[in-house]
Amino acid sequence: MHIPVLLDAAIDALAITANGVYVDGTFGHGGHSRLILSKLGRHGRLIVFDKDPVAVSVAKSIQDKRLHVVHDSYVKLDETLQALAITGVDGILLDLGVSSMQLEEATRGFSFRHDGPLDMRMDTSRGETAAQWLATVDETVLKEVIRDYGEERYAGQIAGAIVMERSRRPITTTLQLAETVATVVRARSHGREYRQHPATRTFQAIRIYLNQELEALSLTLPMCLARLNSAGRLVVISFHSLEDRLVKNFMRTQAMTDTLPRKLPVREDERMRHSRQQLLLIGKKIRPDVNEIAANPRARSAIMRVAEKLEPA
């Protein structure tokens, strides 16, 4: 069963108004969306996105006229709102990464804990599988992907081992890839109770790269800012340091009061003219508490950041 991470905290952060318009950029199994709908009034609206056909099927099974379902990435936010003649929204939630259901479903190929076909596509109706990509990718490119998207210090050794393995036989299953990585990387200790599997970062890197997750997030954050109404909230839950860095830097940049060096001797009206503050940061980053992590270990890496759209100057 999929357990939404930071469920109540995320919906509270949206500061929902009954007749507002909201966006859930990653429907998943609908935990966040259902709670948003429960807080909306008769004239409220919720637009949800998901690339996963299974998630889209679950979303479409919800009989609610206030709900609009889009089978696509949240990178289509601007295009979708334009098609729906919606000029602004009151809140946007992005819950990044993969769901527990995707990880537990062996046929999806996201997890090294269950043997299955090496797929890793969020949208199984289009695109190249991980097995197809690994069959032809250049070793140098593979090393860069594992290093840059997985922050893996042993990327070179792992890429070499994968290329050696595929020269003997095609790499087509999750356990085959995991075992190949384990020949050159040991399990990492993360505290007394948690040891990270050797293939964790490699699987994460390949998934993020194939699904263009960082690129989609980079493109979508400015769209969110542009489409939010004044006082609208942007809430983002990330599970990877690269994702969180993108979100943190974007929010901080948009919360800057001006673009001029602090000690530059300019008149106040000139400094105000260069002001570009568009977001107000709401609180500090939020992590799940010990009780949530105990109930849902996947939540341990989650970080939530919240910002509010300011009135234009």
What is the C-alpha to C-alpha distance for residues 196 and 210, in angstroms, rounded to an integer? 22
Write out the DSSP string of 42-106. TT-EEEEEES-HHHHHHHHTS--TTEEEEEB-GGGHHHHHHHTT---EEEEEEE-S--HHHHH-G
Tokens describing residue 163:
């290329």
102 is in an annotated binding site: yes
What is the C-alpha to C-alpha distance for residues 239 and 247, in angstroms, rounded to an integer? 11
289 is in an annotated binding site: no
Residue 132's Cβ-count burial label (10 Å; 0-12, 13-18, 19+) is middle
148 is in an annotated binding site: no
74 is in an annotated binding site: yes
31 is in an annotated binding site: yes
What is the C-alpha to C-alpha distance for residues 313 and 304, in angstroms, rounded to an integer? 28
Bridge pairing between strands 228-238 and 303-309: antiparallel
What is the C-alpha to C-alpha distance for residues 218 and 221, in angstroms, rounded to an integer? 6
90 is in an annotated binding site: no
What is the C-alpha to C-alpha distance for residues 110 and 103, in angstroms, rounded to an integer? 5
Q: Could you count the other beta carbons within 10 Å of the beta carbon of residue 47?
A: 23
C-alpha 308 chain-centroid distance: 19
What is the C-alpha to C-alpha distance for residues 274 and 256, in angstroms, rounded to an integer? 11
For residue 237, report the phi and psi dihedrals to the nearest 5 degrees: -110, 120
Contact 301, 191 (CB under 8 A): no
Going by the annotation, the residues of the binding site for S-adenosyl-L-methionine are: 30-32, 50, 74, 95, 102
Going by the annotation, the residues of the binding site are: 30-32, 50, 74, 95, 102
